[in-house]
Structure 1
Amino acid sequence: MPARFGLAEARHVLDAALDKADEIGQPMDIAVVDDGGHLLAFARQDGAIRAGIDIAVRKARTAILMGMTTEQLGMAAAPGGSLYGIEVTNGGLVIFGGGIPLAEAGGEVVGAIGVSAGNVEQDITVAQAGVEAFDKHAG
């Protein structure tokens, strides 16, 4: 049986995302969840907005539940989209960027990262840094 995505891997993802947040000068709330959407690692940098705590966790959870980025879900959930209104289901899904699934080389989604506290572009940039660290570590 292959090793599961656990705390060590989650901390690696979290650390890379924290480094990117420091690099761009935007304090962030960063959550990493397992394949069931359960929190494995979290950090709130000094100065990150408090609202971002819940939003980061929900972004990560949304990405794992839907198997896509929250940015992609937002496009599908736009008025007239095939998933319009989905954000009110499952306890409240997030439909703007900053949540990204973490997939192994074979395509199996094993976790997700969610980032909040900057603007959407900053959130995506920091989340992507965590994904890239996961990809390098898993690959």
Structure 2
Amino acid sequence: MRTKPVLTDEDVKIIAAAAEAHALEHHWNVTVAIVDDGGHLLHLHRLEGAGASTAEMATGKARTAVLGRRETKVYEDMIKQGRVAFLSAPMTAMLEGGVPIMVGTDLVGAVGVSGVKSDQDAAIARAGIAALGIENT
């Protein structure tokens, strides 16, 4: 048996605050979702002005990043390159903006963001994770 790191309530607050600060700094109306390593929702905040659908999409991106243990951009790129069979995978949001949170080789959760361009969503998620001060690989 081994010991595995997990996200604490404080970690979630740090990630959320940093992600939302990054979004607000750029005047981006988004939803930020944070999930644990099982894809269970720990945090969801739809910033003022973000569309209603962004709550579902951000949550889906976070869950997809956890299930796949990789950024959701990987799936978006595969589909764009013609691997459309991937659309039948049991993941709900294969668009850029979902970023897994890794501590060494351990997956501890993910951040999903929706509301602006996909690369901007991902930048917000990465800004939140960076606030933990870990090497997220």
- With the length of structure 1 as denominator, give the TM-score of the two structures: 0.87
2:74 to 64, 72, 75: 72
Deviations 1:9-55 (A, max 9, x none): 11211111000001111111000000000001111111111110000
Q: Does 1:18 align with 2:17?
A: no
Between the aligned partners of 2:16 and 2:113, the Cα distance in structure 1 is 10
Between the aligned partners of 1:62 and 1:125, the Cα distance in structure 2 is 17
Letter of the 2:75 counterpart: L
User: Runs of 5+ in structure 1 lacking a partner?
Assistant: none
* Deviation at residue 103 of structure 1 after TM alignment: 0.3
Letter of the 2:30 counterpart: M
* Deviation at residue 79 of structure 1 after TM alignment: 4.7
1:126 to 99, 124, 127: 124
* Deviation at residue 78 of structure 1 after TM alignment: 3.1
Between the aligned partners of 1:128 and 1:77, the Cα distance in structure 2 is 23
* Deviation at residue 137 of structure 1 after TM alignment: 5.6
Between the aligned partners of 1:130 and 1:4, the Cα distance in structure 2 is 16
* Deviation at residue 75 of structure 1 after TM alignment: 1.4
Alignment of 1:1-139 (within 5 A): 1-81=3-83, 84-90=84-90, 92-104=91-103, 106-134=104-132, 136=133
Between the aligned partners of 2:23 and 2:107, the Cα distance in structure 1 is 24
- With the length of structure 2 as denominator, give the TM-score of the two structures: 0.88
* Deviation at residue 132 of structure 1 after TM alignment: 1.1
Between the aligned partners of 2:73 and 2:42, the Cα distance in structure 1 is 22
Residue aligned with 1:85, SS = helix
> In 2, are the aligned partners of 1:52 and 1:117 still within 8 Å (CA)?
yes
Aligned-residue CA RMSD (Å): 1.8
Letter of the 1:102 counterpart: I
Letter of the 2:99 counterpart: I
> In 2, are the aligned partners of 1:6 and 1:34 still within 8 Å (CA)?
no
Aligned length: 134
